[in-house]
Amino acid sequence: MNKMLITGATTIITLAGAAHAQSSVALYGLIDAGLTYTNNQITGTGGGHSNWEMTSGAVQYSRWGLRGAEVLGAGLNAIFTLESGFNLNNGQFSSSNRIFNRQAYVGLSSRDYGALTLGRQTDGMVDFVAPLSLTGTEFGGTHFAHPLDNDNLNDSFQINNSVKYLSPYFAGFKFGALYGFSNQAGGFTNNRAYSFGMSYVSGAWSVGAGYLQLNSAARTPAQLNTNGAVTDTTGSSLQGALTPTAVPLGVLASSQKTFGAGVNYTFGPAVAGFVYSHSKFAQFFQNSLSGTFQNFEGNIRYALTPAVELSGGYTYTRAGGNGGAGGIPHWNQVSAMADYRVSRRTDVYIQGVWQRVSPSGNSPLGVAWINGVTAPSSTTNQLEGAVGLRHRF
């Protein structure tokens, strides 16, 4: 009898262990904190003043998340990700009224056929073009974004109500597509989004391309379909340059069409890259404005030692269209960063960004504003410097 009980208990423990081995949940995150100096920021009393401030996410947004998978057999897994961005300075969510504001999705993944997921997710520009740009990586991040993050390479907003497919690699190729529903009866296209992209890796070369389109009937934040595909942002937005709201400009326009492509080449301890993106905004602010932004970025990274990484980039951005009053501004931005890895999970960094905008006419975009900085400059120039500590878990 005792032998039977022992045998039965052993069987139960073995089965429980086997069942546990078929599923997993992992806690992960990143904390980025530092001090940032800006030479000029507009104040409420007018004019511009220098500013020293403690910042959260100067390079990468601070976040924590849960990632899980369950093995279903035949190479098929059930997967999920729940990811929350937060401000380390005060402990608040980086996006109001959202616990998992960065990502929240569930789906199925197959080693042979790719992954199909549903929820709040990133678009094709973030997935395929951003990794080739310094702003989309740990080697530059938030402040290195193209002016006002007009192409979303810094992942300033995510897509709600989205269905997304990502393929596995086929001889170095990978592709994906996403559709974000408006969730509005009688307004199928009112604040919807769709996106796609591809990448190719071969030896020292990596290339990628992506496309993102937003459609909306809103012209002011009050008219926005707040259940639609894009409703908030965790960082700066083009809309923020013109009015004090966190709603991306693309959902206050009849359409935003953004496409981009990039290439990286690795040689020895260095990686050199070039990224081009183009964003077109149609009929925003009571149909009075329209415009385009073209971004040209050259970047390089160099591993000085296994622990020290240097990176730098130059971005030229040209705006077109009526820009508010016939103005066609253009931007020059120079960025540099040095990073020292203390351990596998912890590093310290120092970085700086200088931006100059050359306005034409009376464009409302005629002042400099480095992405992630609290307020724009009162002039056409702005300089930012940051030193910080980053820890991953």
CATH code of 316's domain: 2.40.160.10
Query: Does 343 map to a domain?
Result: yes
CA distances from residue 199 to 218, 239, 319, 345, 354 in whole angstroms, order as listed: 33, 30, 27, 28, 31
Whether 1 is in a domain gets the answer no
Report the candidate in 233, 199, 229 with the shortest Cα–Cα distance to residue 125.
199
Q: How far is CA 204 from the centre of its chain?
A: 25
What is the spatial distance between Cα 59 and Cα 139, in angstroms, rounded to a whole number? 8
8 A C-beta contact, residue 145 and residue 277: no
- Round to whole Å and give the CA distance between 72 and 19: 11
Question: Per the domain annotation, does 5 fall within a domain?
Answer: no
Q: Assess contact for 381 and 391: CB atoms under 8 A.
A: no
**Contact predicate 78/117, CB 8 Å:** no
71 is in which domain, residue-wise? Answer: 23-392
> Distance of alpha carbon 346 from its chain centroid, rounded?
22
Burial of residue 185, with CB atoms counted within 10 A of its CB: 0-12 exposed, 13-18 middle, 19 or more buried: exposed
Residue 212 forms part of a structural domain: yes
Q: Which residue has the tokens 């990224």?
A: 275
Mean pLDDT per 10-residue segment, the chain (393 residues): 46 44 90 96 82 93 96 95 94 84 96 97 97 95 93 94 97 97 94 97 98 86 85 53 55 87 98 97 69 95 97 95 63 98 97 90 76 91 97 97
- pLDDT number for residue 222: 72
Please give the pLDDT value at position 226: 86
Within a domain: residue 16?
no
pTM of the model: 0.88
Q: Which residue has the tokens 């310290």?
A: 348
How high is the pLDDT of residue 284? 67
Count structural domains, the chain.
Answer: 1
Question: Distance between CA 5 and CA 273 in Å, rounded?
Answer: 65
Cα 222 to Cα 13: distance, rounded to the nearest angstrom: 58
In a domain, 17, yes or no: no
- 291 touches 262 (CB < 8 A): no
* Residue 223, helix vs strand vs coil: helix
Give, in order, the Cα–Cα distances in Å from 289 to each of 212, 242, 253, 278.
20, 12, 9, 17
